Amino acid sequence: MAGERSSANLADLLERILDKGIVIVGDIRVNLLDIELLTIKLRLLVASVDRAKEMGIDWWEHDPSLSSKARQDETARAQDADRELLEENRRLRERLAALEAGPPDAGTNAGTGGAGRPEQRKERRS
């Protein structure tokens, strides 16, 4: 009976910890001749998922290695970025082709509405 009571107490203790949450804090410092070489700050929160969400902690929902939804969102963002880059690349290639083709009318600057640089002419000296 003593074994049953201790397991019940352990279950009650675990339920209370997960329900209320517990924070464990610790710092580790490594010094050599009063020179701090390393500092490790430990912060451990033990709580249930529901309790953590109530406290505003939900990083696991946004971590692609832990959440399939976050992984899908990351893939969709990457695909959108790829589409944007391809579209920008296409527009730049069109502009470059238009500039390389030269102005359609020698009296105007193509694509600039006349606001571009005037044509540079090389003069020959005799």
Same domain, 13 and 43: yes
- Kind plus residue range of the DSSP H or E element containing 49: helix 49-54
Q: Is residue 72 part of a domain?
A: yes
Q: Is residue 91 part of a domain?
A: yes
Q: Is residue 114 part of a domain?
A: no
Q: Which amino acid is at 4?
A: E
The answer, yes or no, to whether residue 82 has pLDDT greater than 70, is yes
Same domain, 78 and 50: no
Q: Is residue 50 part of a domain?
A: yes
pLDDT score of 3:
58
The structural domain count of the chain equals: 2
Domain that holds residue 23: 8-57
Same domain, 76 and 46: no
> What mean pLDDT is reported for the chain?
78
Q: Is residue 125 part of a domain?
A: no
Name the more confident of 115 and 92: 92
Same domain, 20 and 52: yes
- Give the end-to-end CA distance of the chain in Å, rounded to a whole number: 118
Structure tokens at 68: 């399939």
Q: What is the largest CA-CA distance in the chain?
A: 118
Please give the Cα distance from 41 to 47 (Å, whole number). Answer: 20
Q: Is residue 92 part of a domain?
A: yes
pLDDT tens digits for range 41-77:
988 888 888 888 888 888 778 777 777 877 788 888 8
pLDDT score of 55:
80
Please give the Cα distance from 28 to 35 (Å, whole number). Answer: 14
Q: Is residue 122 part of a domain?
A: no
Please give the Cα distance from 37 to 107 (Å, whole number). Answer: 71
